[in-house]
Amino acid sequence: MSAVKKIAILTSGGDSQGMNAAVRAVVRSGLFYGLEVYGIQRGYQGLLNNDIFAMDIRSVGDIIQRGGTILQSARCLEFKTPEGQQKGAQILRDRGIDGLVVIGGDGSYQGAEKLSKLGIKTMGLPGTIDNDISFTDYTIGFDTAVSIVVDAVNKLRDTMSSHERASVVEVMGRHCGDIALHAGLAAGAETILVPEVPFDLNEVADRMRQNFDNGKRHSIVIVAEGVGKGDDVVEAIKKRQPSLEPRATVLGHIQRGGSPTPFDRNLASRLGDFAVRSLIAGESNKACGMIGGEMVLTDIEKVVATKKQFNMELYELASRLSQ
């Protein structure tokens, strides 16, 4: 006998490519196992507004390749209060919904944890481009965001080489430098600045100058936003090496958009199906992740309390190859 009969799904926080693929997987897997599936518009705000609708196969047709989220997302300060959480749980109970799949980041997970303590079975899926969720190798949208950054750097390199200039590229990653690290390594950036590793701007500027003196026609510096603004890094380099003419490029929300890569589509599909099967098995208050290619469940409380470990081995590799 299934532990749940009716499940709902919402997307919360910043959107990430692959969220739609995850929604599709949850809906189709849920229907396959004989569950009623409901969508909640605009995250926790939509839950409090009772903006809930039944979903069927047609609801998720032709969305696996689309970026963004068809369920939309919105901030909700009310849900951060105990009263808001009680209201949300009661709305789900009134509709007979006993399982909820939440796709989002750390704040979204915390909301799911609160609901689980109020009797709603919950599953969290890691939907964030930053790759800052622990107990999963990759988050939904991360691979696509890295691909977008690499493509942008490739284009910048063409024009920077033509004018023999340096480019400072600011990418997303307030607390986690994974986008900068993985994109920097893949794009062959000379310097990668991330929140997890101390750096010396004097050394960055001197190295840039030396690269040009040695005959290089361009220099690429990738900066995670948690380090600081790209414009500030540019000014710091100019101050230390006035002869350099670096240009700042802020990729911003372009990193969130576009069609998800096959990797993100497959990851989202696997996680969505895994979440449904875990709810059916009676699990709750768990975060779904992929470690070493295998699906894993971890207590949400443990996930939100644990900082994602930075891959220093990969960072050191990028540093060696940039010489």
Q: What is the pLDDT of residues 226-252, one digit of tens each?
A: 998 999 999 998 888 887 888 899 999
Is 270 annotated in some ligand binding site? no
Is 146 annotated in some ligand binding site? no
Q: Which helix (H) or strand (E) holds 135?
A: none
Enumerate domains of the chain plus CATH numbers.
6-141+260-305 (3.40.50.450), 142-257 (3.40.50.460)
Q: Which helix (H) or strand (E) holds 312?
A: helix 312-321
Q: Quick one: how far is CA 204 from the chain centroid?
A: 28
Q: How far apart are CA 40 and CA 252, in angstroms?
A: 27
Question: What pTM value is reported for the model?
Answer: 0.95
Structure confidence by residue, pLDDT tens digits, 143-175: 999 999 999 999 998 887 776 778 899 999 999
The amino acid that residue 172 corresponds to is M
Positions marked active-site: 130
Is 134 annotated in some ligand binding site? no
Write the CA distances from 189 to 70, 148, 180, 216, 314, integer angstroms.
35, 15, 10, 13, 13
**Banded pLDDT at 2 (limits 50, 70, 90):** low
3-state secondary structure 201-239: HHHHHHHHHHHHHCCCCCEEEEEECCCCCHHHHHHHHHH
Q: Is 260's pLDDT higher than 50? A: yes
Residue 55's beta-bridge partner residues? 37
Tokens found for residue 54: 């039944």
